[in-house]
Amino acid sequence: MPQTPRLPTWAAPDRDAIEATSAELDRMTELAVRRGACLAAIGRGRCAAAARTAEEFARRWEAAGRVVLDVVTWPEDAASWLRQATRLANADPDVWIMTGRPADGRR
């Protein structure tokens, strides 16, 4: 697959993102619950690591008695994410959770 000029070399489609650790997911959940959030919308890239992180956060969130309103995915190399961003924002959550590759390619 040819590399597009929008993507730095670290963002090649076959490079997987780094998954969140259990401690990071615990802390994210704790901080959101402590702030009184009940409704979450999750946005994620389509790589396997982003999917696993989003699924695990959703599991923990719902186990804490909270509600996941929507999970929105997007291609990592899209020219625009307007449709996905609009869907994510229209969910009207208390908290947005985003998983995927860091913008600078590092953790």
Task: Sketch the domain layout of the chain as residue ranges.
Answer: 20-99
pLDDT truncated to tens, each residue of the chain (107 aa)?
444 445 455 554 545 557 889 999 999 999 999 999 999 999 998 888 899 999 999 999 999 999 999 999 988 777 777 888 898 889 899 999 998 876 654 44
Name the nearest CA neighbour of 17 among 97, 88, 98, 107: 107
Q: 20-99 has which CATH code?
A: 3.40.50.2300
Residue 96, judged by CB atoms within 10 A of its CB (0-12, 13-18, 19+), counts as middle
Distance CA 83, CA 63 (A): 30
Identify which of 49, 44, 52 has the alpha carbon closest to the alpha carbon of residue 96. 44
Burial of 36 (0-12, 13-18, 19+ CB in 10 A): exposed
